[in-house]
Amino acid sequence: MSLGAMIRIGLGRDLHRLVCGRAFLLGGVVLPADKGEDGHSDGDVLIHAVIDALLGAAGIGDIGQLFPPSDPAWKDACSKELLRRSFEQVKKAGYALVNLDCVVSCEAPKLLPYRHTIRASLASLLDVDIEMVFVKGKTNEGCDSVGAGEAVEALAVCLLERV
């Protein structure tokens, strides 16, 4: 088999509005914050980006296709469950995770104190070692909706290998 078929990269990106009265969830972890992600599901922007990276790398769809927002079944859906289901599909397609790297952009809170917990949560959901998952927090330097504290954005890139 050619190298190209053995190793596949995936990219995911998501953005959610931040509103009062919602939990601020990142990677299945509730962070202390004044506002949280709005959304049809629980709004976990990081998990949504990770799901799209994994599904894209495997070439088997995207989050909107697997869990359409128009379907009431996914109203207030637990993103942790969506990730578990998505990764099951990825594994069923014959792939294992090599590594996952993520960037979350928001003005507050600072993510460094929570990084280990978020990495551990994602690694646990994917049933991989924590060394295979990394997460970095950035601010948007006050620019645009993320910089104004009105939104949070997540990017995820993953590498899969055929097993």
Give contact residues for Mg ion (rule: CB under 5 A).
14, 48
Query: Measured from the CB of residue 45, what is the shortest distance to Mg ion in angstroms?
Result: 6
Q: How many whole angstroms from its chain centre is CA 78? A: 12
Q: Of all helices (H) and strands (E), which one includes residue 76?
A: none
Q: Which is nearer to Mg ion, 35 or 48 (CB)?
A: 48
Q: Which residue's CB atom is positioned nearest to Mg ion?
A: 48
Query: Measured from the CB of residue 48, what is the shortest distance to Mg ion in angstroms?
Result: 4
Q: Which is nearer to Mg ion, 14 or 107 (CB)?
A: 14
Could you tell me whether strands 95-105 and 133-138 are parallel, antiparallel, or unpaired per DSSP bridges?
Answer: parallel
Q: Are 46 and 157 in contact (CB under 8 A)?
A: no
User: From the CB of residue 73, how many other CB atoms can be counted at a distance below 10 Å?
Assistant: 7
Closest CA relative to residue 162, chosen from 3, 6, 4: 6
Q: Which is nearer to Mg ion, 14 or 153 (CB)?
A: 14
Q: Which is nearer to Mg ion, 61 or 98 (CB)?
A: 61
Query: Measured from the CB of residue 157, what is the shortest distance to Mg ion in angstroms?
Result: 17
Phi/psi at 13 (5° precision): -145, 140
Query: Measured from the CB of residue 63, what is the shortest distance to Mg ion in angstroms?
Result: 7
